[in-house]
Amino acid sequence: MKISTKGRYALRMLLDLAQHQNEGYIALKDIASRQSISKKYLEQIVPILNRSDILNTNRGYQGGYRLAKTPDKYTVGDILRLTEGTLSPVACLDRDPSDCVRSDECLTLPVWIGLKKAICDYLDGITLQDILDNQINSGADNYVI
């Protein structure tokens, strides 16, 4: 499974908002500048996040974006599901495996189910707050469980 640029940038954008949550609404240009991401690219990601009520938006002179909830309420898994559509390592797990004509005799299906579970358990176990706390505690940009 490969996470797209959209997923990685959405995560970086939300982490930036989490880091600056006490500053009110944050302009997209400021996020783009701090994260070295094109503002135009972020403009493509914002509607995806807005549809799922992750962001609060304020228009006008003091406008911008902020998280709708505290950083501990957002998991990496939830964010990547929004941007990637699925965390399934194989296409047959995007729908009910019993829909597959081979599911009853597929020897590899348990492998893919186990991999999906491991991916989801891992990513659903990390919140934005966990990433921020890890960065503060270690002084590094690495996240390891």
CATH of the domain at 128: 1.10.10.10
Angle between helices 109-124 and 76-84 (to 10 degrees): 120
Q: Are 56 and 66 in contact (CB under 8 A)?
A: yes
Residue-wise pLDDT tens digits, 104-140: 888 998 999 999 999 999 999 999 999 999 887 775 5
Distance separating alpha carbons of residues 18 and 95, to the nearest angstrom? 33
- Bridge partners (DSSP) of residue 67 are 55
Residue 46 covered by a domain: yes
CB atoms within 10 A of CB 132: 16
Can you give the residue range of the structural domain that contains 61?
5-138
Residue 143 covered by a domain: no
The pTM assigned to this predicted structure is 0.86
Residue 55 covered by a domain: yes
Residue 108 covered by a domain: yes
How many domains is the chain built from? 1
Residue 144 covered by a domain: no
Residue 106 covered by a domain: yes
